[in-house]
Structure 1
Amino acid sequence: MIRRNRILIAITRAERGGAPKHVVDLIIGLREKYELCLAIGEEGYVVDEVRKAGVPVHIIPSLQRNISPLKDLRAIYSFSKLVKSFQPDLIHGHTFKAGMVSRLAGALNRVPVVYTPHGWSFMDRAPKVWQIAAPPIEWFLGLLTRKVICVSEDEYNLAVKRGVISATKLTVIHNGIGDDPHRARPGAHGDPTQIIMVARFAPPKAYGLLIRTVAGLEIPFKLLLVGEGPLEQEAKNLVLQLGLSDRVHFLGTRADIPQLLAQSHIMVLSTNWEGLPIILLEGMRAGLPIVATDVGGNREVIRDGETGLLVPAGSIEALRSALHKLIVSPPLREAMGKAGRLRYEKHFMLERQMQKTIALYESILNNESSK
């Protein structure tokens, strides 16, 4: 029997979210072609889905998001042991910490590594400490990287601008997602109009700004907030303070996102920085008009005035105006939703992402075999 090439895929967190969902889709799409193994820092959604797909999972408890020199050294040691036992032909690390551990372990074991940051940690509007500390770290790790997959042109351009890695090592592969039968009816008259945001309750997502924005809307609406995270209680307290408990609803982590989108009229994403959010693709797939901040890869997904409305990050006035414009105009919502669905079909189907990823893998693997 011919041995299939082995790919070791790594990510830090197992929670529901954009990068974890990307990894699940990637593994399911690659499992017939390659022999795969997943390294991850915890149990959770990703692990459950990958095990269901019949792919082995290796939990590395020391692989955590927060910087901790001792735990990080343990993670590198554990990951290196896994590399020696699994003997991958290629390693693909996702997000900063798993990407760091993957590249260091890959260099120690002479295995080529591909890295997908899913949004650089030094992006505009990121914490100042990361804008200062992350570029030199990424520059060093870039020396150990065979290829970096940027999920957006913005991510590519920022890497080149900051000089963190040679442009010859960068490539852009936009995120893609599989289709789903659930469709929204954004042009239907809501009673009231339902707005939805799906994101982790963390600083980049600017939930507080969104809550303050809708507090100033003087027309009926219902806002669904889907997700969990360290700032969830703070957001709930703000809703109580502003007297919005009857209009803003916290749904926690949900497995029925396509159904929730299909029941909504507008998607909103008020984030301060992004790579290329998968949730925007899910919104377009459902046929929803989208109001999003003009950051990162958002502008590569949303066509302003055609599939949704882009607003400056941090602007309550602009965000409120955009939401008001869509709430009062069902025909505009319908037109933008249809345009978004067509854009998803043309540019963001999962098959496109998989074809480009496999082509990249094969170019590296063929180069290795010819040495």
Structure 2
Amino acid sequence: MTSKGGTVLFLEHEASRTGASIFLLRLLDWLKTDTSFNFRVLAGRWGELLPEFQSLGIADTFEPEPNFVYRVLRRLKLNNRQQSEHLDALRQKLGRSDIRLIYANSVASARMLDFLSFLQCPVICHVHELDGAIQILGSQYIHVLEKHKPHYIAVSRAVAENLTKKYLIPANRVRVIHGFVPVSEFCRAESDLQESVRREIGIAPDAKIICGCGSIEHRKGTDIFVKVADEVIRRSGAFPVHFVWIGGAREDIETMCKRLVRLGLADRIHFVGSKSNVASYFEAADIFLLTSREDPFPLVMLEAALHETPIICFDQTGGAPEFLQDDSGFVVPKFNIEKMSDKVMELLASPHLCKQMGAAGRRKVISRHDLTVGAREIAAVIGERLELEG
């Protein structure tokens, strides 16, 4: 795939180690290798992934470098001059860059669009947010976007429906391209690594593991995860089943561990924090429990499915049911704790069903949700917009 000339400016909200930022890194790496598009990045803030964006090409920031002096001035609200000088220099730099298209990687990135209006070029917005996240940002972000009449890429049909029904965006400006992951990077973990997971947690080799993953917050349904675990543990009696949650800030983990001690569940529910060997946990898990109240199209679901782990989610969570359908796990109605517990028990009682559903999920990720599949679709959208403007 070739470029018609000009540069695509990718807007990244904060270059932090979050799903949308990691997604964009993977996409840009593919674009750099497999297309001739010229691109550069503008990050809203200095984040820990900024050096990785800079390794792929030119990457600027909307805010000045947060050195000690600037942080003090910002805290005192005396940073206007520094911010203004920084934006003036950025405007001149971008004005010389022959930018033909702006690609906002999230609704959150829209805060930079008014500043960039001098570029007078079309906008694509890749929407990774459902309405709860948009409302937290502020619905004015959608209004800012709509001033530019962008074409939207939605990561799931649930996201597309929210845009067209809640914000009345014309359907002909919304296209669904489901999330994707680089399949080749997710190798199956060796059995000794799986055993090390059990040793690390301190559970028996024959114990069953139900896994959850994400930040510890209301949106991710961490409280639901604990309630389902409590119900399953009560119903399973002496059967060795353990619930493991990966991720979360240190202070949140400490809070959850204290709560589990009070509930008498600290020996069966484990909050292990962020892990570099997440693949080993997914490989060791018998079931992946997606308890989110809202999740547009969780990439962690695809990663779990690559390890042939069947998934249970809720029907109102967002895009997950679009992936699971009826063969890769179970979709439970209306955040029903008892029914989710029923499905956990059903899978625990049937290793054959676990294997069958897990294998179906892996096949789907490989055939439909590999990086090369989704990135080609996005590259085609970019190419179409550049062709129209060329």
Does residue 47 (structure 1) correspond to residue 50 (structure 2)? The answer is yes
Structure 1 residue 344: deviation in Å? 1.4
Of 157, 166, 175, the residue aligned with 2:170 is 166
- For residue 107 of structure 1, the aligned residue among 114, 117, 130 is 117
Change (3 A) 1:236 1:355: same
Which residue number in structure 1 is paired with residue 244 of structure 2? 224
Q: Residue 109 of structure 2: which of 98, 114, 123 is its match?
A: 98
Deviation at 1:171, TM superposition (A): 1.1
How many residues align? The count is 353
Cα 1:255–1:4, aligned 2, differ >3 Å: closer, same or farther?
A: farther
Per-residue deviation, 1:341: 1.0
Change (3 A) 1:106 1:244: same
2: CA distance, partners of 1:335 / 1:117: 33
Name which one, 1 or 2, has greater alpha-carbon Rg. Answer: 2
How many angstroms does 1:23 deviate by? Answer: 0.9
Q: Indicate the residue corresponding to 2:12 in structure 1.
A: 11
- Picking from 175, 178, 192, the partner of 2:179 is 175
> What is the deviation of 1:333?
0.8
Residue deviations 1:212-248 (CA, integer Å, cap 9, x gap):
2201223322222112247444433322222222222
Letter in 2 for 1:58: D
**TM-score, normalised by the number of residues in structure 1:** 0.83
The 2-side partners of 1:323 and 1:17 are apart by: 28
Alpha-carbon spacing, 1:227–1:57, altered in 2? closer, same or farther (3 Å): farther
Identify the residue that residue 249 of structure 1 maps to in structure 2: 270
Cα drift, residue 3 of structure 1: 8.8
CA 275–323 in structure 1, closer or farther in 2 if over 3 Å, else same: same
What one-letter code is carried by the residue in structure 2 that aligns with 1:106? L
Give 1:175 shift: 1.2
Q: 1:321 to 1:22 in 2, by over 3 A?
A: same
Would the aligned equivalents of 1:104 and 1:144 in 2 still touch at CA under 8 Å? no
Distance verdict in 2 for CA 1:352–1:321, change over 3 Å: same
1:162-311 matched pairs, under 5 angstroms: 162-179=166-183, 180=185, 182-183=187-188, 191-218=206-233, 219=236, 220-229=240-249, 231-294=252-315, 295-304=317-326, 306-311=327-332
Distance 1:108 1:313 in 2: 46
Kept in 2, the 8 Å contact 1:228–1:252? The answer is: yes
Counterpart position of 1:66: none
Task: Determine helix, strand or coil for the equivalent of 1:246.
Answer: coil
Change (3 A) 1:7 1:257: farther
> CA offset at residue 249 of structure 1?
2.3
Q: Do the aligned residues in 1 keep the contact of 2:153 with 2:175 (CA within 8 Å)?
A: yes
Given that 1:177 and 1:281 are in contact with CA atoms closer than 8 Å, whether structure 2 keeps it comes out as yes
Match of 1:88 among 99, 104, 127: 99
What is the distance in 2 between the residues matched to 1:198 and 1:57?
A: 30
SS in 2 for 1:287: coil
| Cα separation, 1, equivalents of 2:190 and 2:342 | 22
Aligned to 2:61: 59
- Choose 211-220 or 274-283, whichever is displaced more: 211-220
User: TM-score scaled by structure 2?
Assistant: 0.80
Two-structure CA RMSD over aligned residues (Å): 3.3
Shift of 1:320: 1.7
1: CA distance between counterparts of 2:128 and 2:275? 22
Q: For 2:281 and 2:31, locate their aligned partners in 1 and report how far apart those are by CA, in whole Å.
A: 29
DSSP-derived class of the 2:210 partner: strand
> For the residues of structure 1 that align with 2:97 and 2:373, how far apart are their CA atoms?
29
Shift of 1:282: 1.0
Q: Does the aligned pair in 1 maintain the 2:110–2:144 contact within 8 Å?
A: no
Q: Could you say if the C-alpha distance between residues 313 and 31 of structure 1 is closer, same or farther in structure 2, counting changes exceeding 3 Å? A: farther
What residue is the counterpart of 2:198 in the other structure? none
Query: 1:269/1:249 Cα in 2 relative to 1: closer, same or farther (>3 Å)?
Result: same
Partner letter of residue 115 of structure 1?
Answer: C
Structure 2: 5+ residue stretches without partners: 66-76, 196-203
The aligned residue for residue 200 of structure 2 is none
Distance 1:84 1:221, change over 3 A: farther
Look up the match of 1:24: 25
**Contact 1:80–1:109 (CA<8 Å) still a contact in 2?**
no
* % identical equivalent positions: 20
Q: Call closer, same or farther: CA 1:242–1:26 in 2, change over 3 Å.
A: same
> How far apart in 2 are the matches of 1:153 and 1:293?
15
Return 140-149 or 78-87, whichever deviates more.
78-87
The 2-side partners of 1:25 and 1:308 are apart by 27
2:337 corresponds to 1:316: yes
